[in-house]
A and B are shown apart, each in its own frame.
Chain A
């Protein structure tokens, strides 16, 4: 049975899968928060904030995620910054931070597109009704933005789940690492990697179906 090796090494495979899920979920939450903040920077009336937001997006989108992860787990401790005193916990948190900062740049671009997509007249109406700038964001602009950007954010979630595999390069024992460890122990290379493949498909295929459905509905709605 393909994937049967997972039950021979349940702690490695299911433990690794659980780590993949954790990094994905926490990384996604971080990316959403960070991306929204950066997007608000990018549409802000203050030029300096716009510049900071723009540089953030360009830098994180145009350098490889692996390089960023290496910086987080190797570079930062050299500067005396650690996410945790425990080595494994530090790696795990570095992976989450890396996922959040990298995908945050993509989320920022989506949110910015959504914010700019809201009709300008509505914003002017909100301001003239006496709402402050934050109040206008909170009650008028952001709610409309979030509805429009759910399908693209779903695509980011898929990319993020796939990219958690890069955490194996800095030594986090997620799904791909589990396959690598089992490979070195048993030499059943193909079985091990096929199992890792199935675990990733288990996450990305349902997500893909949901996102494609949402996209189709959005196309009809417009």
Chain B
């Protein structure tokens, strides 16, 4: 049996490929890709700020703040991202009712961003905390002895070093966010996968479309993960390594 008949019998009909020469299809994919990128960027920006706050909260000397931050981080990390995304998509949920009234309907794009951000902020908080804890105690002691306040020593001494050390881990989390944007399609945001699904329900060619979609995701995520290795500066202490491995396996496989 020659190769063309084999491929035809197994669904890769050559007649379904020429449609991808049409630029309109690629514009359609492009719109999805744009939505995916916007989702990822908005989520990363939001979750970096929130993650920094929760990391500082978990490092805080005030018991109540420490406990609240720990509960948030561990609670969110124990939940599926998809569940969080679906939860923010609930119409008139009690989360927003007290502020915006019962008729409030969060735009789906932002429901997706909030779901992704909630999860990513908890993960980034753990990464940042691991970075802070990996620095030698002497750094804090020296800066405090020089007369810097707690906030000043965090701002000028500890965080700049900790964040720089954690750049590769945070970039790895970015690839996870990009992969997870594909879940936002389930609540009706037209990101890359959802656009692909629209195409194959029209043309009955799921194999071709899914191959194209996965190649696009692969190119983005693979490039980012290769790039993140370039930012490995200095040696990460063992304690931080274990924490980062935990985060990478438990949260980046999501």
Residue positions of A touching B, CB distance < 8 A: 58-59, 61-68, 70-71, 74-75, 78-80, 102-103, 106, 110, 151-152, 155-156, 158-160, 162-166, 168-169, 176, 180, 189-190, 193, 196-197, 200-201, 204-205, 208, 211, 215, 218-219, 222
Contact = CB atoms under 8 A, between A and B. Distances in A.
Contacts of A158: 78, 250
Given A163-B253, A219-B242, A74 B206 contact: yes
Given A166-B80, A193-B83, A193-B87, 13 more contacts: A65-B179, A67-B210, A71-B214, A75-B206, A103-B253, A152-B245, A152-B249, A155-B250, A162-B81, A166-B82, A189-B90, A196-B83, A201-B78
Contacts of A160: 253
Interface residues on B, range: 35 or more
B140 interface: no
B221 to A, nearest CB: 4
B10 A71 contact: no
Nearest to B223: A62
Contacts of B17: none
Interface stretch (B45-53, B57-65, B101-109, B180-188): B180-188
5 contacts: A58-B222, A59-B218, A64-B182, A68-B214, A163-B80
Contacts of A152: 245-246, 249
Contact of A62 (B11, B175, B245, B250): B175
B210 A75 contact: yes
Interface string B241-254: 01001100111011
Interface of B: 9-12, 74-75, 77-83, 86-87, 90-91, 93-94, 175, 179-180, 182-183, 185-186, 193, 197, 200, 206-207, 210, 213-214, 217-218, 221-222, 225, 238-239, 242, 245-246, 249-251, 253-254
B1 to A, nearest CB: 14
A78 B253 contact: no
A219 B210 CA distance: 42
A176 B253 contact: no
Contact of A63 (B10, B75, B81, B179): B179
B79 A201 contact: yes
A63 B218 contact: yes
Contact of A168 (B82, B214, B218, B242): B82
